[in-house]
Amino acid sequence: MKALYVLTGLVIAFSLAAVPAEAAKKKKRVAAAATTQESYVVRDHDGEILGADPDPFIRLMILKDGKIRDQQGR
């Protein structure tokens, strides 16, 4: 019975030791500034850029307003 406890303890100890070793191997990804700024861009269904703003409400209003029309209303 004691052998079962010792074996279980060893399995748990080795599995807990393996987790930090795997975490140390992973490389941290650095987000590029262009990727962050690209998330602020609002595009229409054709892919044309309508505008950009970091505020989500303003991005919604840009999307709602759509393309800016000229003075003749085309």
Spans of all domains in the chain: 2-65
Q: Say whether pLDDT at 59 is over 60.
A: yes
Q: What percent of the chain has pLDDT over 70?
A: 64
Q: What is the C-alpha to C-alpha distance for residues 6 and 2, in angstroms, rounded to an integer?
A: 6
User: How much is the average pLDDT of 28-44?
Assistant: 69
Three-state DSSP class for residue 39: coil
pLDDT of residue 57: 93
Q: Residue 60 is encoded by which pair of tokens?
A: 């919604």
User: How much is the average pLDDT of 26-36?
Assistant: 58
Q: What is the C-alpha to C-alpha distance for residues 12 and 65, in angstroms, rounded to an integer?
A: 59
pLDDT of residue 55: 92
- pTM value is 0.41
